């Protein structure tokens, strides 16, 4: 049985490796559009951009791994079409026949329209190694960078730029940074962190457009302000990469729609990672994180071999900014209140719906993260009054 995997990122690499670990001996082909072998993206906006992580350490596997596992890795190879009935795909001039196929095509950045200066030279986006290699030479002390978007990517880029001695202005159209993903308390905490490092944060003001003659040189804001800059970074979200699936007639619903096992609407075709939405509660969920990419891919690998197991996500995430490690456990959707546990340098924000613990943002507090994660994964809660008291030994919450 030939299994083909389209998209050689975090999910595709995990899926291919898991097929072998589970004992699949038939041919496996892992096809990626990017020139590089599978690599991890998180350091792109953190240690790698800072220049503190060499390229080899970005790679998910040593170069010899793929050959040793008898996985055919095709890089620089964009799949242009697939035929779910004939069970073929086209890559360059080659037509490959597959028995089962996984789509792990990830996501692409949301770009600013050209009319807003989104294509001006000096405007950078953050998704691929090539993107980051392209922007790294711009990070020279004393230069001015304008960052559009106050989500994790924008804030991480701001932290790197500030650490490298650049003048950083970050603009966010929503009333506060991290509004889409975090509570007011977390936004406030990160705003204060960045302000202490000299980053100017402008919230609640939309960008009218990036401006410049031949090269970006500033931004016009909706309130009439003009912010001059030497280069710009846009981090305004991503869109699931669904073009191939859509053209093949596969059902979409905020990404490639899968059932609970990761099957798409086309027989023999599966999906995992950033590109895939799966049933969750009464609706569907699509997660954009490394843990989800790996866990869903590994679950799908098993199911391709007949395991028949539903994917049960255990959401967690992290972000590094300056000397702060943020770790998030759970999903905060539907929270009604936030309990703050202030232990000085270690701090955590606990999200509750009534008395039910949903999620935690832990800043330099790995213990709070670990215990909250265990509680959430076990479907348990923790008394908010005890959580709020820094004198409570968190371990006692495990009962
Ligand atoms: C800068 C940055 C920082 C991040 N930081 C964190 C973090 O701190 N923590 C965290 O949990 N997550 C983080 N993420 C998110 C995380 O990297 C993604 O969730 C993860 O990479 C998703 O894996 P994936 O395999 O689904 O998609 P990807 O890793 O995007 O891989 C998809 C691959 O498919 C390829 N592809 C698409 N279409 C085709 C085609 N037609 N033919 C061939 N190949 C194709 C693409 O080129 C791409 O290489 C970060 C992401 C970025 C960009």
* Contact yes or no for 284/278 (Cβ under 8 A): yes
Ligand 1 mean position to 340 CA, how many Å?
32
CA-closest residue to ligand 1 atom 31: 9
81 and 191 assigned to the same domain? no
Q: In the listed set 214, 234, 254, which residue is the last one of a domain according to the structure? A: 234
User: Is there a single domain that holds both residue 22 and residue 82?
Assistant: yes
Which amino acid residue places its CA nearest to atom 18 of ligand 1? 289
For residue 221 the two structure tokens come to 């804001």
> Does residue 121 share a domain with residue 208?
yes
What are the φ and ψ backbone dihedral angles of 313, each rounded to 5 degrees?
-70, 145
196 plus 166 within the same structural domain? yes
Average of per-residue pLDDT across 155-172: 98
232-242: pLDDT as tens digits: 999 999 999 99
The number of the ligand 1 atom at minimal distance from the alpha carbon of 317 is 11
Reported as a pLDDT band with limits 50, 70 and 90, residue 138 is very high
Residue 59: burial class (beta carbons within 10 Å; 0-12, 13-18, 19+) = middle
Instruction: Report pLDDT digits (tens) over 256-307.
Output: 999 999 999 999 999 999 999 999 999 999 999 999 999 999 999 999 999 9
Q: Which residue's structure tokens are 């479907």? A: 379
Instruction: Say yes or no: 87 and 130 in one domain.
Output: no
Indicate if the pLDDT at residue 346 is higher than 90: yes
**Same domain membership, residue 13 and residue 98:** yes
Q: What is the CATH number of the domain that holds 98?
A: 3.50.50.60
Within a domain: 312: no
Which CATH number is 348's domain given?
A: 3.30.390.30
Q: Which of 160, 290, 295 maximizes ligand 1 atoms within 8 Å of its Cβ, making it the mutation to test the pocket? A: 290
Would residue 310 count as lying in a domain? no
Pocket of ligand 1 (CB under 6 A): 6-12, 31-34, 41-42, 44-45, 78-79, 104-107, 126-127, 153, 241, 244, 273-275, 288-291, 293, 317-319
Q: For residue 314, is it within any domain?
A: no
Average pLDDT over all residues of the chain? 97
**pLDDT tens-digit readout, 17-62:** 999 999 999 999 999 999 999 999 999 999 999 999 999 999 999 9
Write the pLDDT tens digit of every residue in 180-209: 999 999 999 999 999 999 999 999 999 999
Section 338-364 average pLDDT: 96
The best mutation among 103, 110, 274, 301 to test binding of ligand 1, ranked by most ligand atoms within 8 Å of the C-beta, falls on: 274
**140-152: average pLDDT:** 98
* pLDDT number for residue 54: 96
For ligand 1, atom 32, the nearest C-alpha belongs to 106
Ligand 1 centroid to Cα of residue 396, in Å, is 38
Per residue in 66-106, pLDDT (tens digit) is 999 999 999 999 999 999 999 999 999 999 999 999 999 99
User: What would the two tokens of residue 164 be?
Assistant: 């490298």
21 and 164 share one domain: no
Number of domains in the chain: 3
Residue nearest to atom 4 of ligand 1 (CA): 42
Residue nearest to atom 37 of ligand 1 (CA): 105
What is d(CA 172, CA 108) in angstroms, rounded to the nearest whole number? 20
With respect to residue 311, please indicate whether it lies within any of the assigned structural domains. Answer: no
Q: Range of 277's domain?
A: 3-108+238-304
d(CA 116, CA 114): 5
Distance of CA 93 to the CA centre of its chain: 32
Give the count of beta carbons closer than 10 Å to the beta carbon of residue 301. 27
| 118, 225: one domain | yes
pLDDT of residue 80: 98
Q: How remote is the CA of residue 235 from the centroid of ligand 1, in Å?
A: 15
Instruction: Please give the distance, rounded to the nearest whole angstrom, from the Cα atom of residue 113 to the centre of ligand 1.
Output: 22
Q: Are residues 192 and 223 in the same domain?
A: yes
316 within domain boundaries: no
Give the residue, out of 41, 73, 237, 311, with the most ligand 1 atoms within 8 A of its beta carbon, to mutate for a pocket test: 41
Bridge-based pairing of strands 231-234 and 144-148 is parallel
pLDDT tier for residue 398 given thresholds of 50, 70 and 90: confident
Residue 8 CA, ligand 1 centroid: distance in Å: 9
- Residue 66 sits in the same domain as residue 120: no
Q: Provide the pLDDT confidence category of residue 137 given band limits of 50, 70 and 90.
A: very high
Closest ligand 1 atom number to CA of residue 132: 1
Q: What's the pLDDT band for 399 if we cut at 50, 70, 90? A: confident
Which of 201, 234, 267 is at the close of a domain?
Answer: 234
pLDDT at 177: 98
d(CA 251, CA 229) in angstroms, rounded, equals: 43
Residues in the chain: 399
Judgement on whether residues 226 and 258 belong to the same structural domain of the protein: no
**331 Cβ contact partners less than 8 Å away, ≥ 6 residues apart:** 285, 315, 358, 359
Domain boundary among 186, 208, 234: 234
Residue 39 lies in a domain: yes
pTM: 0.97
Residue 397 pLDDT greater than 90, yes or no: no
Q: Looking at the structure, do residues 101 and 248 belong to the same domain, yes or no?
A: yes
CA angle 123, 105, 1 (to 5 degrees): 160
Q: How many CB atoms lie within 10 A of CB 358?
A: 20
Q: Which atom of ligand 1 is nearest to the CA of 32?
A: 44
């Amino acid at each position: 049985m030939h299994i083909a995997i389209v998209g050689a990122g975090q999910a595709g690499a995990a899926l291919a490796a898991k097929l072998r670990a589970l004992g699949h001996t038939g041919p496996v082909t892992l096809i990626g559009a990017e020139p590089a072998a599978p690599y991890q993206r998180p350091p792109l906006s953190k240690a790698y951009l800072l220049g503190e992580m060499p390229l080899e350490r970005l790679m998910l596997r040593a170069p010899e791994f793929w050959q040793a596992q008898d996985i055919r890795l095709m890089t620089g190879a964009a799949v242009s079409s697939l035929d779910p009935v004939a069970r073929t795909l086209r890559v360059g001039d080659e037509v490959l026949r597959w028995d089962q196929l996984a789509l792990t095509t990830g996501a692409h950045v949301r770009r600013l329209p050209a009319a807003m200066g989104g294509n001006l030279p000096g405007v950078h986006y953050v998704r691929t190694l090539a993107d980051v290699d392209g922007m790294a030479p711009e990070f020279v002390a004393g230069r001015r960078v304008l960052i559009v978007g106050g989500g994790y990517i924008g804030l991480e880029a701001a932290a790197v730029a500030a650490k490298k001695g650049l003048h950083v202005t970050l603009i966010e159209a929503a009333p506060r940074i991290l509004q889409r993903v975090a509570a007011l308390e977390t936004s406030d905490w990160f705003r204060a962190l960045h302000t202490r490092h000299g980053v100017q944060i402008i919230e609640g003001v939309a960008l009218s457009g990036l401006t410049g003659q031949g090269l970006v040189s500033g931004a016009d804001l909706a309130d009439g302000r003009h912010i001059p800059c030497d280069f710009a970074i846009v981090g305004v979200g991503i869109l699931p990469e669904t073009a191939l699936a859509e053209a093949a007639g596969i059902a979409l619903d905020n990404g490639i729609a899968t059932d609970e096992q990761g099957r798409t609407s086309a027989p023999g075709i599966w999906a995992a990672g950033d590109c895939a939405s799966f049933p969750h509660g009464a609706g569907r969920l699509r997660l954009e994180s490394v843990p989800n990419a790996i866990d869903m891919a590994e679950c799908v690998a098993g199911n391709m071999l007949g395991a028949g197991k539903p994917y049960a996500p255990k959401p967690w995430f992290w972000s590094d900014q300056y000397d702060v490690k943020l770790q998030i456990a759970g999903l905060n959707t539907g929270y009604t209140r936030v309990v703050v546990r202030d232990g000085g340098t270690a701090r955590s924000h606990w999200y509750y719906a009534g008395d039910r613990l949903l999620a935690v943002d832990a800043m330099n507090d790995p213990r709070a993260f670990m215990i909250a994660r265990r509680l959430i994964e076990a479907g348990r809660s923790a008394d908010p009054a005890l959580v709020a008291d820094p004198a409570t030994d968190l371990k006692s919450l495990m009962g």
